[in-house]
Amino acid sequence: MNVIRRIGRSFSPIEKSDEGRDQWPSRAGFLLAAVGGAIGMGNLLRYPSVVFNNHGLQWFIPYLMAIFIIAIPGLILEVAIGQAYQGGTVVAYNHMNKRLKGTGMGLLFIGFVVSTYFNTIVAWIMTFFRHSFQSPLPWQGRSQEFYVQNVLRRVEPIEGSLSADGSSVLSYTQYPGTGIVGEVAGWSAFVWFLTWLCIFQGVAVTGRVVYFTMGLPVVMTIILIGRSVSLPNAGEGVKLYFATWNGGKLASSGIWQAACGQVFFSTGVGFGYYTAYASYNRKFANAVQDAIIIVCSNASFEAIAAFAVFGVVGYLGLDPDSGETLAGSFDVGFVTYPEALAEMPAAPFWAVIFFLTLLFLGVSSAFAMIDAIVTLVMDMSPKLSRPLVVTSLITMMYLLSLPYCTEFGYYHLNGIDAWTSNMALIFVVWSECVTSTTVYRWKDVVSQVGVPAFVTYNVGYFGGQIFGVAVGHAVSPSAGAGLGFGLFIAGTAIALLIAKSPDSRAPRFWGRNLYTSRLWYMAFYSGNQLKRDLNVIVATGKNWSIPVFWSPLLRYASAPILAIIFSFAYPSFYQVRYDPLNIVGFAAAHCCLLIIVLGFIVPKWFDVFIPPERREEGDVITAPHVVSGVIEAHRDHEIESGSAEIEHKGASEPKTP
């Protein structure tokens, strides 16, 4: 281990901050690592699928709206708190409030669960990659059969069933195939080893590895695009993607749900690695600009990379108007595209390029999720050896991934993925949005309007989301919307009447009368104050500031949208409750919800993950409108600027012998 550590240090010297934390060797290293976490197999595969199924240029209307309403505000939050508070998700959320440690743990839970099966998908890619060196390609004319029998080697289950009215389970699904698929397990070990190589030495190595893991897939994707659009009839697929208008699709809820889901899952918000990566930044880096660069890079890559798939769509003559659909990312990557590759001239070459691209995209996403968990352990006391922590974690996670390498692994993966994505991930990000704009410095709000008003307003706010979506499913969407807005308006009106008069005047026009001043504190104070406190650090000098509309977007747009999406999970589970693997996935998702709730109720249970000297950061007494940490931030900035100036002079002045 010491030999490996010395080799790593010689390859990439470790830089440290004044607090002793590792630092990125450059801003480009951080951005490429963060973009690598966002850009993955889903950009090249899942995105074209949902665009095809919601065909036409009108797709970009809900897609771009979701980017600005969900992705950018959420990413600004995760990057800014990691950088400002110099800690991983648990430390950063503890700094905001001691009861938010569970939210930080929930983020890590998502990355932990997803990474255990994510590398198995990359192992499937490696199986295809191995067979790509044959001519003709072994799946030619039998892509579906090859995928099921030669790659997955899955044994079909004995399907369970519900009663005719769906009220009871008649029989549960049985999975007779339980053996481990040796090749998948072997390739999975190889992928975990690659992950270990990328992160064992810290961001010093990761910051250089990403030039390769991100640079090569970009080049390969450009090559694939060139080849795809040159295929016969490829223009029809490109026309379907970028030159067809079908405005009637906008009246369907499906396209809006698909756009929100794609943006949400492709950007990687909610996995915790943005906060972990940002904690290794210099404290006064340009966090807002970095967050926007990450989101825009991800969106640009998937929008451009889609041409590689839509060229194949035209070549194969696929048409959504005929009722054809492209299923999830698995079928596109492992059935549809390989089928087209097999028919191309020089098919083995293009197959090697395609699956190698998917490999690097997969690994860059995998080590980002693992690194967030490593950051949690490295932030704890006493300090442990990073190579030892990474090695132990990778070994444990490989063992946990073995059930996905079995003959029923495909179904197990689908069951865990469905409920992690559709329930746990959405709830975690919803929790981020509402807690950062409700719990942060809540005592300031209570001191100005009183506990009864604070509680009443938030009962209306949360009650409107909970009961509104419940009635929307049980009765009708219009009834749910009416109840939701009604509860919120009623809670707001009652809170305004019972609130006490604020001692500190609200800013700008909000302070013109008593009621608008009360409304300001209950509705906007927490999020606005978080923005102000973060801007003291992340907006120093010429850095971009967090905009004034950021916190209202999180609280009153992002959160309600996520609550609606989350609500679809329970009706969906009710239809598949006869499947044991879906039950396991559903239970695992609720473990994440339980972690967040327990963190709020009994925060001391999570103190073990916080260094002793930082445990009280989330319980600091503040005063209304007083910006937290101004003196400390300016002092730290002067120290950092002074150090940078000294380093610059040291580099420019000639050394005396």
**What is the full DSSP assignment across 71-108?**
IHHHHHHHHHHHHHHTS-HHHHHHHH-GGGHHHHHHHH
Fold observed for domain 22-158+172-436: Hydantoin permease (1.10.4160)
Q: Which of 586, 87, 7, 110 is nearest to 365 (CA)?
A: 110
> pLDDT for 128-179, tens place per residue?
999 999 989 999 888 889 999 999 999 999 999 999 888 899 999 999 999 9
> pLDDT for 286-309, tens place per residue?
999 999 999 999 999 989 988 888
In this predicted structure, which of 494-508, 535-549, 632-646 has the lowest mean pLDDT? 632-646
Tokens 């048409």 sit on residue: 319
Between CA 574 and CA 552 the distance in angstroms is: 34
Residue 435's Cβ-count burial label (10 Å; 0-12, 13-18, 19+) is: buried
Q: What is the pLDDT of residue 626?
A: 85
Between CA 54 and CA 368 the distance in angstroms is: 30
Q: Which of 464, 440, 445, 456 is nearest to 559 (CA)?
A: 464
- Residue type for position 610: I
CA 608 to chain centre: 25
Tokens 């967090």 sit on residue: 546
> pLDDT for 107-126, tens place per residue?
999 999 999 999 999 999 99
- Positive or negative: CA dihedral 504, 507, 513, 515: negative
- Positive or negative: CA dihedral 437, 442, 448, 449: positive
Q: Is residue 496 within 8 Å of 535, Cβ to Cβ?
A: no
- Residue type for position 113: V
Q: Which of 173, 197, 192, 126 is nearest to 402 (CA)?
A: 192
> pLDDT for 324-354, tens place per residue?
666 555 667 788 788 888 888 889 999 999 8
Token digits for 325? Answer: 């659909």
Residue 17 has pLDDT above 60, yes or no: no
Between CA 351 and CA 122 the distance in angstroms is: 15
Q: What is the pLDDT of residue 319?
A: 80
pLDDT bucket at 25, cuts 50 / 70 / 90: confident
Q: Is residue 21 within 8 Å of 279, Cβ to Cβ?
A: yes
How far CA 444 is from CA of 178, 451, 476, 631, in Å, comes to 57, 11, 39, 20
Please, what is the average pLDDT of the chain? 86
How far CA 635 is from CA of 88, 154, 184, 538, in Å, comes to 23, 61, 54, 14
pLDDT bucket at 12, cuts 50 / 70 / 90: very low
Q: Is residue 420 within 8 Å of 408, Cβ to Cβ?
A: no
Q: What is the pLDDT of residue 365?
A: 87
Q: Is residue 75 within 8 Å of 264, Cβ to Cβ?
A: no
Residue 613 has pLDDT above 70, yes or no: yes
Q: What is the pLDDT of residue 266?
A: 81
Q: What is the pLDDT of residue 48?
A: 84
In this predicted structure, which of 268-277, 316-325, 533-542 has the lowest mean pLDDT? 316-325
Between CA 654 and CA 20 the distance in angstroms is: 29
pLDDT bucket at 11, cuts 50 / 70 / 90: very low
Q: What is the pLDDT of residue 646?
A: 38
Q: Is residue 249 within 8 Å of 51, Cβ to Cβ?
A: no
Token digits for 153? Answer: 């080697």
Q: What is the pLDDT of residue 638?
A: 55
- Residue type for position 69: I
Residue 101 has pLDDT above 90, yes or no: yes
Q: Is residue 224 within 8 Å of 354, Cβ to Cβ?
A: yes
Q: What is the pTM of this model?
A: 0.88
Q: What is the pLDDT of residue 652?
A: 39
Helix (H, G, I), strand (E, B) or coil at 169: strand
Q: What is the pLDDT of residue 651?
A: 39
How far CA 251 is from CA of 54, 135, 320, 397, 475, in Å, comes to 12, 48, 17, 44, 20
Q: Is residue 274 within 8 Å of 76, Cβ to Cβ?
A: no
Q: What is the pLDDT of residue 654?
A: 38
Phi, psi of 169 (to 5 degrees): -95, 125
Q: Which of 410, 415, 402, 340 is nearest to 151 (CA)?
A: 410
b/e map 458-467, b = 16+ CB within 10 Å: bbbbbbbbee
Residue 645 has pLDDT above 50, yes or no: no
